[in-house]
Amino acid sequence: MRYFLPFLLFPVPAFAFDRPIPQPQTETAEFWFLVASVALIAALAAVHWLVARR
């Protein structure tokens, strides 16, 4: 408990920073997200087709 006491006495420096602001998506990032989404759907369809054949 004695090690926790300084944090109770001086809590302000722990919260003295600005939160980061997220940046907007770029068109390149949106394009690669679209490619990854289509690839995932194609992979799921391929797995479904392979499992349904058994």
Q: Give the global pTM.
A: 0.55
Task: Report the run of H or E that residue 6 belongs to, with start and end.
Answer: helix 5-9
Residue 25: per-residue pLDDT: 87
Sign of the torsion formed by the C-alpha atoms of 29, 35, 36 and 38: positive
Average pLDDT over residues 20-38: 91
From residue 45, alpha-carbon distances to 1, 5, 53 in Å are 58, 58, 12
Average pLDDT over residues 11-36: 81
- What CA–CA distance (Å, rounded) separates 13 from 39? 47
